[in-house]
Structure 1
Amino acid sequence: MKTRTKDNVLKDEECLQIIKKRLSRDKMEDYSLVKYELIPIDGSSGFMGQYFTLKATVTSPSSDTKNINFFAKIPPLQTSPLFEFNIEHGSFKKEVDLYTKVFPEVLRGLEQYNIPECFFAYGGDVIVLEDMFPEGYTMINKHIPFDLNHCRVVMKTLANFHAKSLIFEERDKKKIHDEFSHCMHETLFPDKEEGRGRKMFTAAVRGVVSMIDLLGELNDAEKMKFKETLVELSQNHAKKLLPSMRYKNVLCHGDLWANNILFKYGDEGRPDACCLIDFQLA
């Protein structure tokens, strides 16, 4: 298939397949499809990918008209800073492999909505997931630090997510890194002397080192010691990310920040659940 663009995200038969799979999950077998459309999500495309909402309207004899939404994404535009990064490291295809090959095996039995359900994925071209916003999940302001309640919810979800790797290895008598080696490689900081990942990391270290000079509470000797320690810790960083030969290894998200965590709130406005999204750097 040709590379998908904003004008060619999904074929008609693929849209019908996605809708049918969702209705089957909801045990809604007797239905009539009224309409469906694919709508670009304004203001969010162009960095990690191009994003769309697939909207469908269906009816059935036993219920009123029902609207269902899906979240779809394709790789970033050629003008995006991450276009070449995706080509070099295959980050989009890795996420497709995770949703289609790894998660169905490793995350079996995971509590509903810890991650979105995948309804369609194809090669390194497109992923279609459940739209979590109609289920009550929302993205919070990334500039506001998490309070203790948000941290508790995230840690509980991560504990469940990480525990599934341990359960998989114990249950199936397989090593997760051996079984899924094709998508368990380090994406952002590979062990290469050249490449965008190395350049990004080096620039980040230099930036942090330069900001140490802004710490007015430290004297010159303390600043120098801080810089030396930081540079020392950053050495051989890629090797530190390799699977441990001594301890158990688990599948990690790899890019866990505010925009990749959706929260759901209870009646009192406190978070009671969260959902992890965007696994291109897992």
Structure 2
Amino acid sequence: MFDHKALTKEKFVEIIGQRENTKDVKLVQIDLESGAEKGQNYSGQVVSCHLEAQVNGKSKTYKWMAKVPLDDPDKYDFLRMLFMEQKELGFYQELLPALHDLIAKRGAKIDLKFCPFVYGEFKQNIPRGDCVHGSMIMMEHLGPMGFTEPKAKRSGLDLDHVKLVMKSLGEFHGASHVYYKYKHDGLDQIVEKEPIQAKDYMSDPKMAAIMEPFSAGMIQSFYNALSSSGPKGDKYLESYRQFSNEKIDPCKLRDQLTRPDVCRFNVLCHGDPWFNNILFKYDGNKPSDVCFVDLALTKWASPTIDLSYFLFLSTTPDLRKAHMSDILKCYHDSLTLTLKSLDDNPTPFSLTELIEDYRKCSFFGFMMAMLMLPMILANKADVLGSEEFTGDFSDPKVIEEMNKLSIERAKITMAKDPLIGHRISCSFLEMVDYGYFTL
């Protein structure tokens, strides 16, 4: 039987009691199982919880998904620096209710696509050895509600999936833009005013220094992937290195693009909207609804940061080449309608400006995809699990061994699946079209 240190009978009784506003709770059955496949979550543990209880003498069933920290003190300090727990808890406990309230007050017909929240807790000064009890997020299990992982996600989401995501991101982005505008009587210095939700801690200089050893291994994996991406891979790699030597380090440019001063129009970005963090409901084979999960990397930036991240990681270059104009118009229509329905004086943001910002910020999505595609598209047997990243992250020897493991696993993936190389090479050519690289 699967069990967990933090998900105890006493804790579930406490949560049910709070939810039902009663002390008359008797648990009859607890069934726990892992809620994520290997390689799907590196920042915490996801646990599926099925509970049978007697509440005020009546039988009740609860199906929840719990997210708790990894039981690994060596990862604990690192993850705390990213404020991931506070971001996600703050989103569900404070921001999402405030957005719902704004929508209700304006009488707008907007349905934000996020999971119903059940319970959350956070402990600031938890001992490292007890890090598994540092936080908890409990949400409704989306499976019984009809949601599932996207079909054929490894081969790339189709246009129906993409348009559903574009519409929903447009509504969320627009609502966040209006909410912060009225909360602070303007949009100046939102990152300073809302540091938990709006700051990109991944790009913070302190974190960049810590991530430098990781980046070295990731870049080497990228070099291998790019050079192995097809018959012209070595030529692409030469062009990439020339860009890096003559202009700017690509990783630094990637991080700079997330700053709110890069583009005129900014929103609260999801920060991690790829296919493993988006669930769909289906009517036959066609997606009919969508739900976003994992709000641990939110940031105040151009909406095209989210768009490029989603499109480069979750769709194929062929789909983008055939439908990019339609995709961006779908997003812009949704964003514009949301701004108009919520804001007495909506901020003008034209489709032309969106296209220009996407071309500028597409490099962010490209870099994230190039670093991650060999991992996220790997066969299950070749995926790196969080349990394989062991040891103290401050130890250079540990980082060196982790980098070696990542590089070797990426080589295996590229050798087994030539379609990944095709996606990488075609994505590189997109950046040539956008004026980043030359051939």
Which of 12, 15, 28 is equivalent to 2:12?
Answer: 15
Distance 2:25 2:251 in 1: 58
Residue type at the aligned position of 2:270? H
Give the structure 2 partner of residue 247 of structure 1.
264
**CA deviation map 1:91-113 (0-9, x unaligned):** 22332222223322245449556
Distance 1:17 1:160, change over 3 A: farther
CA RMSD of aligned residues (A): 3.5
Task: Point out the more displaced range, 211-220 or 159-168.
Answer: 211-220
Give the structure 1 partner of residue 196 of structure 2.
182
After TM superposition, give the deviation of residue 257 of structure 1 in Å.
1.6
Contact 1:58 1:66 in 2 (8 A): yes
Give the structure 2 partner of residue 277 of structure 1.
293
**CA deviation map 1:31-51 (0-9, x unaligned):** 986635251326648733122
Distance 2:60 2:233 in 1: 65
Total equivalences in the alignment? 267
Which of 99, 104, 127 is equivalent to 2:97?
Answer: 104
**CA deviation map 1:200-253 (0-9, x unaligned):** 344333322333323444386664223323663433443332222762321111
Which of 154, 166, 170 is equivalent to 1:159?
Answer: 170
Give the structure 2 partner of residue 41 of structure 1.
34
Residue type at the aligned position of 1:167? V
- 1:135 is aligned to 2:133: no
Distance 1:131 1:151, change over 3 A: same
2:88 counterpart SS class: helix
Distance 1:66 1:112 in 2: 28
Contact 1:94 1:183 in 2 (8 A): yes
Residue type at the aligned position of 2:296? Q
After TM superposition, give the deviation of residue 22 of structure 1 in Å.
5.5
Distance 1:252 1:47 in 2: 20
Distance 1:145 1:70 in 2: 29
Structure-to-structure mapping, 1:1-282, within 5 angstroms: 6-9=4-7, 12=10, 15-16=12-13, 18-19=15-16, 35=28, 37=30, 39-41=32-34, 44=37, 47-57=42-52, 66-78=60-72, 82-106=75-99, 108=101, 109=103, 111-112=110-111, 114-123=113-122, 124-140=134-150, 142-172=153-183, 173=185, 175=187, 176-192=190-206, 193-196=208-211, 198-218=212-232, 223-229=237-243, 232=248, 233-244=250-261, 247-266=264-283, 268-282=284-298
Distance 2:233 2:51 in 1: 62
**CA deviation map 1:133-163 (0-9, x unaligned):** 1110011354231011111111111111111
Q: TM-score, with normalisation over the residues of structure 2?
A: 0.52
- Unaligned 5+ segments in structure 2 are 104-108, 123-133, 299-439
- Hey, which of these two has a bigger chunk of strand by percent? 1
- Unaligned 5+ segments in structure 1 are none
**CA deviation map 1:6-31 (0-9, x unaligned):** 2233563x53454356568xxxx9x9
After TM superposition, give the deviation of residue 182 of structure 1 in Å.
2.9
Contact 2:83 2:196 in 1 (8 A): no
Distance 1:221 1:278, change over 3 A: closer
After TM superposition, give the deviation of residue 259 of structure 1 in Å.
1.1
Distance 1:113 1:106 in 2: 9
Task: Point out the more displaced range, 48-57 or 220-229.
Answer: 220-229
Residue type at the aligned position of 1:166? H
After TM superposition, give the deviation of residue 280 of structure 1 in Å.
1.7
State the identity as a percent: 21
1:188 counterpart SS class: helix
Contact 1:95 1:280 in 2 (8 A): yes
Distance 1:210 1:34 in 2: 53
